[in-house]
A = this chain, B = another copy of it.
Amino acid sequence: MDAAVVMRKFNRFYARCIGVLVEPHLDTGRPLGPSRVLFEVGPDGVRVADMRRRLGLDSGYLSRLLRRLQHEGLVTVTPDPTDGRQRVVHLTPAGRHERHHLDRKSEESGRRLVGSLSERRQTELATALTTAERLLRAATVDVDIVDPRSPQARSALAQYFGELDDRFPNGFDPGDDGAASTVLRAPGGAFVIMHSDGVAFGCGGVQRIDEVTGEIKRMWISPDWRRLGLGARLLTGLENTARELGYTCVVLDTNATLVEAIAMYERAGYRPIERYNDNPYAQRWFTKDL
């Protein structure tokens, strides 16, 4: 069973189902475009530029879509106080309500679709779709360079530190993380996050050791997304980033308790070396030529 062939077949089939699933949008009197935007706003508001990138829309087109929603009283578009060029979209109470309403209708139409299946078959379907989504997300994951102080980066780092604190025998103290993170930026450093639809589930950084050597730091994949080969992809991404920063060699350190990570480094061609820093949490050190 070839996955690509199955994909194609499924896709051809699913294109028809979509007609049914899109139906609920139709009797809102609103075309699909604005509805998609409405969903993308989310509870905490979103910057217009971010949304544009995520939905892959043209700047002018999105601007019009937003104005329409604004005109309907569903969203507010206000200037970003921290950056006068950007604008931030928020849902109004009416927008929140409309979104919720749409959600309910969409769920209802899904329920009608699967309604003829027995309870057991419905569960089977849900499991299959969840698995498919998980794997497809893993396959289509994005790796982007971001500022380590950005909310997304901070959220990923917080999860990372939390996990280290749980796993290390004596806990983990990130120390002055704010200062430490500033080295994970240009020039000489970078911080990347791995995400799908804006939800970060992995991160990692590169910082300068010397002219030709970069260090890979803070590499982490969320526990929910492990064992999908994402670690190796993230590592490759970080190596490419290091190469673009001009390094010809990378080093990294790790704790002996992180056995999966160590195995992955070895698979990726890393060689163990002597201690090169005074990181109190480090017990293993590796290097690789780029």
Chain A residues packing against B (C-beta within 8 Å): 1-21, 36, 39, 56, 103, 106-108, 110-111, 113-118, 121-133, 135-140, 197, 228-229, 233
Contacts and interface: CB of A to CB of B under 8 A. Distances in A.
Interface residues of A, dominant DSSP: helix
A128 B125 contact: no
A179 B196 CA distance: 61
A125 B132 contact: yes
B107 A5 contact: yes
A152 B8 CA distance: 25
Nearest to A118: B229
A133 B13 contact: yes
A7 B109 CA distance: 10
A218 to B, nearest CB: 23
Contact of A8 (B8, B103, B128, B138): B103
Nearest to A137: B13
Given A124-B135, A129-B128, A116 B3 contact: no
B13 A14 contact: no
Given A7-B129, A10-B129, A132-B132, 10 more contacts: A1-B130, A2-B126, A3-B111, A3-B125, A3-B126, A8-B110, A14-B133, A117-B228, A124-B131, A125-B139
Given A16-B197, A135-B117, A138-B117, A127 B229 contact: no
Given A3-B110, A121-B229, A129 B126 contact: no
A132 B136 contact: no
Contacts of A131: 124-125, 128
Contacts of A130: 1, 6, 10
A54 to B, nearest CB: 9
Contacts of A123: 1, 3
B8 A106 contact: yes
Contacts of A56: 19
A24 to B, nearest CB: 10
A7 B110 contact: yes
Q: Lowest 10 A-B CB distances belong to which pairs?
A: A7-B110, A4-B111, A4-B110, A3-B122, A128-B131, A6-B126, A128-B132, A3-B126, A125-B135, A10-B129
